[in-house]
Amino acid sequence: MKIIIAGSGAMGSRFGLMLHRSGNDVILVDGWKEHIDKINNDGLQANLNGEEVVEKIPAYHQDDLADVDFSADLVILFTKAMQLETMLKSLQPCLAEETKVLCLLNGIGHEDIIKNYVKFENIFIGNTMWTAGMDGPGRVTLFGSGSLDLQNLGAGKEEAAKEITKVLSEAELHANFSEDILASIYRKACVNGTMNGLCTMLNSNMTEFGGTTYADDIVEAIVTEFVTVAKAQNIELDQPAILAQIKKCYDPETIGLHHPSMYQDLIINNRLTEIDYINGAIVRKGKEFGISTPYCAFLTQLIHVKEEILGAK
Ligand SMILES: NC(=O)C1=CN([C@@H]2O[C@H](COP(=O)(O)OP(=O)(O)OC[C@H]3O[C@@H](n4cnc5c(N)ncnc54)[C@H](OP(=O)(O)O)[C@@H]3O)[C@@H](O)[C@H]2O)C=CC1
Ligand SMILES: CC(C)(CO)C(=O)C(=O)O
């Protein structure tokens, strides 16, 4: 399959690398020039579960796509939420009538933006439990395992969604076709709505946070707000199952030692965070439905205060 990875930071590099290694025709697209230049000069370098890997994958700056002759079957969106709209504008020359676009960003409601740039029946949405970290331009660390869920948004596009699922699974990305992707996105948002903001504020990884005596109470309070807001939209979530899924993140043998992507953004790279698309989205939806969301509101404010104190850009 001809695949564009649109947003080739840590996660885009992971997916690009694994899809390239399983025989797909992949190109990487990003707005970070130094990263693109490094990949084109020296290959994409990765520590893949302890093994040093270098793959030659063509990489393009997103402003240069008008000159690129590559009609993609599939575009996988992996920007940060704040960069999504700019990337969608840049991608226009590469979107053919049949190009499918799969969004795997963390957060809630990205389809509202994507549908302004992509035909509704070509939009596929999902979420992933894979992890990845950027070490510097052209270099990533990829450890542990993961999975992803996806579904078509447009009616009658199940077969296309299953075909994408197959291609991703052949790359050992463990993809599942979901019958209820909105619930799945909310379940993942509960993980990010707890782990990302809390580990960032508390300067911890997930194992360290999960080992504290306060972890269960705080996590339950936040998840209750997500579940209540989801219910108001007729999205039914199994709260005990979500709490159990979050606890699994504390395991140092799986992803517990990972610093969530929000920590990587703010604490390591001094960049603005996606908090407004995770806990902030619950506060906005809560207001719409008359539901009080004090924990999400406070965590959103705290992260913004920290962004200001650190002068994040
Ligand atoms: N990392 C993870 O483990 C996980 C991340 N996700 C989600 O996947 C999506 C993509 O996240 P992720 O891959 O972590 O994003 P990254 O932070 O690795 O990359 C996103 C973009 O930020 C810019 N950038 C990143 N680092 C630097 C740097 N040091 N200097 C300059 N620019 C930089 C680049 O674009 P530009 O120059 O255009 O700004 C890059 O494409 C997000 O929605 C995230 O929440 C989901 C699951 C796990
Ligand atoms: C690994 C995980 C699940 C932590 O919340 C994640 O999605 C992230 O780092 O953004």
Catalytically active residues are 188
**Minimum-distance ligand 1 atom for the alpha carbon of 8:** 41
Q: For residue 313, what pLDDT is reported?
A: 96
Q: For residue 186, what pLDDT is reported?
A: 97
Q: For residue 6, what pLDDT is reported?
A: 98
For ligand 2, atom 3, which residue shows the shortest CA distance? Answer: 129
Ligand 2 contact via 194 beta carbon (within 6 Å):
no
Q: For residue 225, what pLDDT is reported?
A: 98
d(CA 130, CA 260): 11
CB 46, CB 70: distance < 8 Å: no
ipTM score here?
0.94
Cα distances from 291 to residues 192, 227, 284, in angstroms, run: 20, 11, 10
Q: For residue 209, what pLDDT is reported?
A: 98
Q: For residue 91, what pLDDT is reported?
A: 97
Residues with CB under 6 A from ligand 1: 7-12, 30-32, 78, 80-81, 83, 105-106, 128, 131-132, 134, 261, 265, 269, 274
Ligand 2 contact via 192 beta carbon (within 6 Å):
yes
Beta sheet of 59-61, edge-to-edge order: 59-61, 25-30, 2-6, 74-77, 100-103, 123-128, 148-152, 175-177
Q: For residue 181, what pLDDT is reported?
A: 96
Q: For residue 8, what pLDDT is reported?
A: 98
The predicted model scores a pTM of 0.94
Ligand 2 contact via 258 beta carbon (within 6 Å):
yes
Cα distances from 61 to residues 12, 20, 30, 66, 91, in angstroms, run: 14, 19, 5, 11, 11
CB 5, CB 78: distance < 8 Å: yes
Residues with Cβ within 8 Å of 309's Cβ and at least 6 positions away in sequence, in order, are none
Rg (CA), the chain: 19
Q: For residue 296, what pLDDT is reported?
A: 98
Which of 51, 58, 80, 54 lies closest to 3, judged by CA?
58
Q: For residue 93, what pLDDT is reported?
A: 95
CA of 36 to the centre of ligand 1 (A): 14
**Domains of the chain, each with CATH number or no CATH:** 2-179 (3.40.50.720), 182-310 (1.10.1040.10)
Question: What's the average pLDDT block by block, 10 residues per block, for the chain (313 residues)?
Answer: 98 98 98 98 97 98 95 97 98 96 96 97 97 95 94 97 98 97 97 98 98 98 98 98 98 93 96 98 98 98 98 97
d(CA 263, CA 208): 14
Pairing assessment for the beta strands 25-30 and 44-48 based on DSSP bridges: unpaired
Neighbours of 299 (CB within 10 A): 27
